[in-house]
Structure 1
Amino acid sequence: MTTAASAAAKGVSVITNLITVPLTLSYLGPEEYGLWIAITSIFLILGVADFGVGNGLLNMISAAHGKDDRRLVARHVSTAFGLFLIIGFSIGLLLFAVKPFISVHSFFNVPSGVSGLAVDQAIMVLVGMFAVSLPFTVILRLQEGLQEGFSNYLVQIVGNVLSLALIIGTIKMNLGLRALVFSLLAGPLFANLLGFVVQFGFRKKWARPSIAAMDKGSARTLLSTGGLFFGLTVLTVLGMQTDALIIARVNGPEAVTPFSVVQRLSQIAFLYWAFLQALWPAYGEAVARNDFDWVRKTIVRSLKLSLLFGSLFAAILFFFGGALIKIWLKESVSPSSNLLLSFSVFILTNSVVGVIAVVFNSTSLLRKQLVLLAFAAGASFILKILLCKIMGAPGAVWATVIGFTLFFIVPGLRIIRKTYWSSLTS
């Protein structure tokens, strides 16, 4: 049921994206739409601001749950909630401290017809929403760590539907860029808040965050474990989530629009990620039980299925993507063949990256993944800047493909083979 719910959540996310893109593109126009995408991409980048505590909490809850230790789970949850409150408050203070020294208009190459004040306010709304929402994400980690993925994915579905409704309302009332940013982020915030109240108020009162349950030892462990995940998140964001910002800076906001449109269409291919994500806690438990035969079989099966579905969607995107976009957006955007090809190859690349990352995240290979990501993300980031100057938006995608193939996929598969095949059979 969890896997089905995960697939449903991904499906709803894809559908809401398919509805949102033509609405917002028509409302904002190509230049301002590209600016909106660049601004909202900051939210993904801010994901590093939890310092890895969220992913560290997930692993610690999984371990405590495996021992049936509710008190330990509650201690970790309360401590993480307190850390998130401190981090969120600090982010808000930092925003107001640095705002006078940052020229947002210059950084984003804001078009002359767009108000710089509106962009400033949109970014303030975005950062403020992130700071407020951060503590409530503890409920997602709790549910995932307890392998109650169904509840997690239900929250995601509610959040996406709420965002869509708010975006439609914003466009109908012509409230502008700032309100669109708020609408996009308010849905997930309200959904997380609802899940927080339901779980801690009724279903899992024993895990409800409290000052009494906060623990220094738990905080040290969370920050120590989270430090690795923080490094991983920073590097992942650097290598894969900075495209829109770099394109806006190097090629202008208008170049972000076709990139974003093809990117949204390509995300349909990642519905299979729902199945991979569900394996995160399962790998950890299998390794703890020394069930390496299951681990090996699951890795091979995951790679085969990922490449199968990835190849299918990559072919569809390359050969029919242009026609589908014309039908979808009524010829308002016409992506180049190079952009379609780059995303098609990226789908295949990410199919393998996803499998490797889940195996590394849930087992003892986390530190090795950090090293691989450092090289892959560093190479990708540098190549993005260089290739965007040469070939425009497709350069950002090709940079990711090259960097992650050479420095993550090739060595990552070798490490997995050595760890779960060679060393266990020798």
Structure 2
Amino acid sequence: MLTTLIRKITSNHLVMSGLYKGVSGLSLFISIPILISYLGDTDYGLWVLVFALFQWVLLMDFGLASVLKTKVPILIHENRQDLLKSYLKSTYKITAYIALFLFVFFLVLIFIIDLKTFLKIPVHSSMFVKKLFVINMFFFCLNFLFNVHKSLFVAFLKGKYAEQSIAVNQILFLASLGVLILIAPNIPSEDKLMIITLLNGLSCFLVNFLYTLFFFYKEELNLKTTVKTSKEFLKEIIVLGTKYMIIQVGLLFVFSSDNYILSSVFGPKDIVPYEIVNKYFQFPIMIMLATLSPLWSMFAKNYVQNKKAVLLASFKRFNLLFIIMFLFIALISLICPFVISIWIKDKITLPSGLILYTAIATLFRVFVTFYTFFLNGIGKLNKYIILLLLSVFLKIPLSYLFIHLNFGINSVVISTVIILLIWVVFIPLECYNIIKKIPSDE
């Protein structure tokens, strides 16, 4: 009986995705105080800026990864195997071209802009900062290509393996970081940053490469086909992919530009309190994203099959689940100062209100994420994009307004709360309006 229960749990992609994301989050939380202690506040702030750039690059795929999660379930449902192979082959080719273009583009950009002055980096030479960004950019673009496997696992309704690969990557990096600290605790700060860059880049590449091979082996799939992707199909993919890219870049701008705004005003060292609280509250978001990730392709499949009752039932289940999430976020907000005092050995002064504002932003984001996954899954994106573009235009003016009003680093979080409040009202309404238009199940 126990064996049957374990088998049921391990075969449930929603449960296992959440579990693996929990492991990833735990590894990330353990690595943060280690990095702060090893690098110091200023160099850790610099590493955060570099890593934030990594997130930007991963989303510059013109929405190809997102289109995979929407289109592949439809092609499988229609049993168009040759077109599927052709589509995957085209995706890898286009992704490789984009990776090459991005590396050259950012290489030129990094050497044109004085990053040390722009980001108010008080230590290291300008040339070292440029070199650090270039090496990271190389690894980021390399992993950009091999990162496609995550979307493939989700598209084939095996999302737990995508989260498993992330967990393995985090654990491998954490282990290599521990070895580095043991064998080289007192090397110069520039050497520390360079070695951590290499460890992060190589571990990420190794895991992504092996899981790419694992995907094609598990699905017994190869890219050998004589069928060419039609121009009409490619055009449809590019149009949909462009929409996804606008969404991805917009989301990243709203949620990940804070570090650059704060650095340009206060400097890298002042990012640390914000980053610690932000990472602390990312845990429920990470769990939610991992749990919901397989739903993207399931929404696409159920929408194509006009399963109105199934979709409405999933909405109802989430709304009930959100009550638990609300209580969980309230609890972790109350214990946040205590946890941070244990988690981060160095004394960190948190601005008054930062925990409350971040908790509210997290609560809003968790709620709205489910409904945005539905819109992404079915490809109904026009109104969502308009709302997102308005949010992008509001983000910086709102942030600087609150900075001008002396809200300090809380300013970027308050601006996010205001934007998310608008989303919480309009996005679920749009989802229910779409559901109403689906013919009732026979």
Q: TM-score range by the shorter chain?
A: over 0.9
Identify the match of residue 92 of structure 1 among 103, 107, 113. Answer: 103
Match of 1:306 among 322, 326, 340: 322
Q: Which residue of 2 aligns with 1:33?
A: 44
Q: Deviations over 1:56-93 (max 9, x none)?
A: 12211121111222212211110000001101111122
Partner of 2:57: 46
Secondary structure at 1:337 match in 2: coil
Specify whether residues 203 and 331 from structure 1 end up closer, same or farther in structure 2 by C-alpha distance, changes over 3 A only.
closer
Native 8 Å contact 1:325 1:331 kept in 2: no
* Counterpart contact for 1:35–1:253, Cα < 8 Å: yes
- 1:374 corresponds, among 378, 384, 389, to 389
1:15-26 paired onto structure 2 within 5 Å:
15-26=26-37
Query: Aligned match of 2:84 in 50, 65, 73?
Result: 73
| C-alpha deviation, 1:387, in angstroms | 2.3
Instruction: Give, as a single letter, the amino acid of the residue that structure 2 aligns with 1:278.
Output: P
Find the aligned partners of 1:185 and 1:221 in 2 and give their Cα distance.
34
TM-score, length-scaled by structure 1: 0.92
5 Å-filtered alignment, 1:26-425, equals 26-111=37-122, 113-172=123-182, 173=184, 174=187, 175-200=191-216, 202-208=217-223, 215=229, 217=231, 218-270=233-285, 271-309=287-325, 311-389=326-404, 390-406=406-422, 408-421=423-436
Can you list the C-alpha shifts for 1:242-301, whole angstroms capped at 9, x where unaligned? 111111111211111011111111122222332222211111111111111111121122
Aligned residue for 1:375, secondary structure, equals: helix
Distance (whole Å) between structure 2 residues aligned to residue 388 and residue 24 of structure 1: 28
Instruction: Decide whether aligned partners of structure 1 residues 13 and 320 sit closer, same or farther in structure 2, where only a CA change above 3 A counts.
Output: same
- Which residue identity is paired with 2:435? Y
Letter of the aligned partner of 1:61 in structure 2?
V
Residue 291 to residue 403, structure 1, CA distance change in 2 (3 Å)? same
1:213-242: CA deviation from partner (whole Å, max 9, x where unpaired): 663535433322201101111111111111
3-state SS of 1:10 partner: helix
**Secondary structure, counterpart of 2:260 in structure 1:** helix
Whether the 8 Å CA contact 1:235–1:373 is kept in 2: the answer is yes
Q: Which one has the bigger helix percentage?
A: 1
Aligned to 2:14: 3
The TM-score with structure 2 as length reference comes to 0.89
SS in 1 for 2:52: helix
Cα deviations across residues 97-138 of structure 1 (Å, max 9, x unaligned)? 333311110111101x33333321221122111211122122
Separation in 2 of the partners of 1:203 and 1:410? 42
How high is the sequence identity, in percent, across the aligned residues? Answer: 20
Seen in structure 2, the aligned counterparts of structure 1 residues 42 and 85 have a Cα distance that, compared at 3 Å, is same
Residue type at the aligned position of 1:155:
S
The CA distance in 1 between the partners of 2:396 and 2:144, in whole Å, is 27
CA contact 1:32–1:114 (8 Å) conserved in 2: no
Report if the CA contact (8 A) 1:56-1:229 is conserved: yes
Partners of 2:83 and 2:229 within 8 A in 1: no
CA distance in structure 2 between the aligned counterparts of 1:81 and 1:393, rounded to whole angstroms: 41
Determine the C-alpha separation between the residues in 2 that align with 1:253 and 1:307: 37
How many Å separate the matches in 1 of 2:430 and 2:156? 29
Q: What are structure 2's unaligned runs of at least 5 residues? A: 1-11
Structure 1 runs (4+) deviating above 6 angstroms are 422-425
Distance 1:405 1:207, change over 3 A: farther
Q: Flag the 1:308–1:167 CA change in 2: closer, same or farther, 3 A.
A: same
Specify whether residues 307 and 245 from structure 1 end up closer, same or farther in structure 2 by C-alpha distance, changes over 3 A only. farther
For each residue in 1:174-225, what CA deviation from the matched residue of structure 2 results, as whole angstroms up to 9, or x when unmatched? 441132233334333221100122333x3345333x6966635354333222
Q: Tell me if the contact between 2:253 and 2:392 (Cα under 8 Å) persists in the aligned partners.
A: yes
User: What one-letter code is carried by the residue in structure 1 that aligns with 2:142?
Assistant: V
Letter in 1 for 2:83: L
- SS of 2:86 mapped into structure 1: helix
Q: Deviations over 1:390-414 (max 9, x none)?
A: 31221111111101212x2211122
Q: Name the Cα RMSD after superposition.
A: 2.1
Q: Which whole-Å CA distance do the structure 1 matches of 2:121 and 2:207 have between them?
A: 32
**SS of residue paired to 2:242:** helix
Hey, what's the Cα distance between the residues in 2 that align with 1:418 and 1:268? 31
The 1:339/1:214 distance shift into structure 2, 3 A limit, reads farther
What is the alpha-carbon distance in structure 1 between the residues aligned to residue 50 and residue 290 of structure 2? 27
Q: How far apart are the structure 2 equivalents of 1:366 and 1:117?
A: 43
Contact 1:38–1:256 (CA under 8 A) maintained in structure 2: no
Distance in 2, matches of 1:119 and 1:169, equals 25
5+ long unaligned stretches in structure 1 = none
Return the offset for 1:348.
Answer: 0.9
